[in-house]
Amino acid sequence: MDIISIGTELETEMIGLDIGFSDTKYVSAGGMKKFPSAVAYAPETALDLGTFAEAQSYYQYKGQSYIIGEKAITDAISTRDISFLMRFSPLLVNYARQQVAFNTIAVGLPIGYYSKRIKFEEILSDFTVDNGHHKYKVHVMPQGIGVLYDYMYNDQAHLINNISNCII
């Protein structure tokens, strides 16, 4: 089993990740990208019409094969509640990892589900996909906090708007 990301000196990239119910969006030093948050069960045989040539697009996770992103849209598992995020977010992180290197994840969680942040952090901190062991430093924040930070700090991370007397 290979360790995919531990956080070496050569790899100190952080990714800002929004695993949404429709799309997964991320921003890194390389820019912003998105892909559908679609996860579907892979066909049980490689002989299913139209899929045998795409076998390399399957991802093994917890004993099951899945298809991720654009190719999964037509047969996607419902993404409308927190159980989807808790179960399948590692697959979406792995999919993003194939597009950009990172060892630290800053991720939002809807405020209504923020009580699950510790479990969500544990899920994303250490998981295995395709026999690759992924380990990340994870920061879970309530969604919407980015707007507040943008208001409070300038591009050099200096406080510009003190909101200590503000009720949020």
pLDDT, tens digit (0-9, with 9 covering 90-100), for 29-76? 888 999 999 999 998 765 555 544 444 579 999 999 999 999 999 999
Q: What pLDDT, on a 0 to 100 scale, did the predictor assign at position 29?
A: 87
Are 6 and 66 a contacting pair, CB within 8 Å? no
pLDDT at 92: 96
Contact in structure between 39 and 92 (CB atoms under 8 Å): yes
- Within the chain, which residues score under 50 in pLDDT? 1-10, 51-55
**Per-residue model confidence (pLDDT) at position 117:** 95
The predicted structure's pLDDT at residue 144: 73
pLDDT (0 to 100) of residue 7: 41
Report pLDDT for 129. Answer: 96
Per-residue model confidence (pLDDT) at position 158: 63
* Helix locations, the chain, DSSP H: 82-97, 117-125, 145-152
Q: What is the pTM of this model?
A: 0.77
